[in-house]
Amino acid sequence: MKILIENPTNPILEGIAQTIVNLNIPIVIWDKRSPLNDMLDTYQPDILFISNVHNTTQTKTKIVQLNFSSNNLSEIDTNLINVDNVDKPSIPYNFKLAANFTYHNISANSNYLTDIFYYSQTSTLTILQHLIEIEKHYQIKIVGPAKLPLYSYLGISSVADMLTFAKSCKIALAFDMNTLYTYLVNKIRCVTICKNDIYPYVEQSQQLISNIHSLLHDKTAQEENDKRIQQAYNSIISDHTYFHRLKDIFHLLGYEQQSQECMTVLNKALEKADVSND
Amino acid sequence: MTEFNLYKFGVMVEALDMSQKCFNLVKQLNNIVDEDCQFSPIVFYSEYAKHVDVNRFGMLLDQKVWAYDGVVIATSLKSAEILLNCPCPKRKFLYVWNLDWLYNQYVYQYLQHIYQGELELIARNTHHAKVITTCWKKPAYIMDNFDSTILKQIIRGKNNND
């Protein structure tokens, strides 16, 4: 089986790409420099993963068109896949949120030490206001694709770097659900402003700073946070990783062997992660 | 009779042009040369440019840093990148003239290699020093506009407090 995937410019496409690499399936990234049809003629993939804006291609390749959506853990619908018309090769896959479990081997690094870490995916005024307040009180380091007008914004980084940072810092800030899932699956202590079913909703910067303060200094708050992380980790690991999502997609497309392989690789990765945690 | 020590040092710039940085550099290096013959500065440049003043020190193309065995101070990311690849300089510094990461978007690994690598950092003032310490590592010296007194201390290898 050969897979072609659009250049992973967002963490969801990156999660899918990394998981496919973990499954040892040949994968080629389409960097958008040449037309998609030329890539399909040259590489002739069996499956094409593509975001819906590029899906204008008529081809015999099975196209998985990803419609991204984010959800809370409790709201995730198990019936994810909708096939509108079986004659059409294109499958709109309502891609519910999942966690990237392919970086579990990453460990902390002394060059990345900081009190607070934030991975900036989008720069909105609300996020900026929160960060300005945090920057006044704590040492914070920010990396990510969205440039922020702050001293502590240090450039673009890979997801691997982001997790090294997150594992080296005392608290990671997760201002979107995808990042939150990635932190939870790696058992990283974090504070969030997202509406979710794991942490209470935070709206004001003052409240966020008070949460950070208690997480840094209060043992009870730390223990409570760790319990929440463990609960969320169990829930994600049982149903909501990119391995689970790819298992469903491969099953739908008729690749049963690859579908089963997803769970085998995930279980092996879990065993390894448990050993390294011990 | 006291022993005569010659302190060789170089400063790397992209071009010795009419910028504030180069104005201060030329002024302070001329001062050092006029005051103290123990110091032998060289400016290493990538591109030739019209100077802001007559310089009384040597100038060489930045390719020559590779085999230069004195103390070398880079003043920009580009020159720091070259300096990192040079095996001969006795001590290597980066004078953080601009907080470059504020103006352009760089890849984090690239900045980390420069700011947290083997180069010792020099900040321009205490405010810059605080930001650099928070983001990267503690600067070894604080030197305002190539201040000749501090510059001599750096070349002699003395601490700020000595």
Q: Is A88 helix (H, G, I), strand (E, B) or coil?
A: coil
* Domain A110-234 top-level CATH class: alpha beta
Closest CA to B89 of B12, B27, B144, B4: B12
Q: Which positions in chain A touch B130 (Cβ < 8 Å)?
A: none
Instruction: Provide the residue count of chain B.
Output: 162
- The whole-angstrom separation of Cα A184 and Cα B98 is 37
Residue extents of the structural domains in chain A: 3-98+240-277, 110-234
Closest CA to B134 of A135, A107, A174: A135
Assigned token pair, A121: 């995916």
The CATH number of residue B134's host domain is 3.40.50.2000
Whether the Cβ atoms of residue A106 and residue A158 lie closer than 8 Å to each other: no
Q: Is B157 helix (H, G, I), strand (E, B) or coil?
A: coil
Q: Which amino acid is at A138?
A: Y
pLDDT of residue B157: 85
Q: Which amino acid is at A251?
A: H
pLDDT bracket for residue B77 (50, 70, 90): very high
pLDDT greater than 90 at residue B42? yes
Q: Which positions in chain A touch B105 (Cβ < 8 Å)?
A: 147, 155-156
Same fold, A3-98+240-277 and A110-234: yes
pLDDT of residue B13: 95
Structure ipTM:
0.84
Is the CB of B135 less than 8 angstroms away from the CB of A157? no
Q: Any chain A CB within 8 A of the CB of B106?
A: yes
Closest CA to A63 of A44, A43, A46, A85: A46
Parts of chain A with a pLDDT under 50:
67-92
Q: Is residue B162 part of a domain?
A: no
The domain containing residue B57 runs over which residues? 7-156
pLDDT of residue B162: 46
Q: Any chain A CB within 8 A of the CB of B99?
A: yes
Looking at the structure, give the CATH architecture of the domain made up of residues A3-98+240-277: 3-Layer(aba) Sandwich (3.40)
Q: Any chain B CB within 8 A of the CB of A143?
A: yes
- The whole-angstrom separation of Cα A168 and Cα A114 is 7
pLDDT of residue B58: 92
Q: Any chain B CB within 8 A of the CB of A198?
A: no
The domain tally of chain B equals 1
For B106, nearest residue in chain A (alpha carbons): A155
Q: Which positions in chain B touch A147 (Cβ < 8 Å)?
A: 105
Name the minimum distance, in Å, from the CA of B136 to any CA of chain A: 8
Among B106, B135, B136, pick the best mutation site for testing chain A contact (most A Cβ within 10 A). B135
Closest CA to A211 of A198, A196, A222, A197: A222
